Amino acid sequence: MLRFLPILLLFLWACTPTTQTEIYRFDQIIVTRNPTNAPPAFPQSFFPENAKFLQSSEFKTSHIHTKEAYILLESEETIENIRKRIESRAAQGDWKLIDKTTKSGETTYLLEGFIKKSLSIVVSESGNSANYLRFYFRKHSSY
């Protein structure tokens, strides 16, 4: 029985799911599964601590400038703490809170930034310990 233990451990290790980053590029669009970082267009101060990045996408007008971006996060932080973080961060002044809507377990925030930028945040409660956040960024100008 002991001589099969290394083979069994190797088999179990090979069957565990991996969270390897996958990147797909299509001209100006970049889609990432299990990203290690968020697209740079997002203000990271809105993100919960120890958030897990699940997927993201970016549409760039050039190599540096992002026109649109999306990211899906998972966090074990409580929904109340997530809402407090977003609302206190919006009160700092560089992102103006335009609208807040809550219905059926989801809270949606619409924020407006300088130079015609908008940010939408959807916070979804789940039945287990993790909560999901979706961030949508759009720049409405060409500079």
Q: Which CATH number goes with the domain that contains 61?
A: 3.40.1000
Structural domain contains residue 72 = yes
Structural domain contains residue 1 = no
- Cα–Cα distances in angstroms (integers) from residue 102 to residues 57, 63, 74, 131, in the given order: 25, 37, 19, 15
pLDDT by residue for the chain (143 residues), tens only, comes to 445 545 544 555 555 566 788 999 988 889 999 999 898 888 888 999 889 999 999 998 877 788 999 999 999 998 899 999 999 999 988 899 999 999 988 999 999 998 889 999 999 987 777 899 999 999 987 65
Structural domain contains residue 10 = no
Per the structure, how many domains does the chain have?
Answer: 1
Structural domain contains residue 80 = yes
Structural domain including 92 reads 19-139
Predicted local distance difference test score (pLDDT) of residue 87: 93
- What's the whole-model pTM score? 0.82
Structural domain contains residue 12 = no
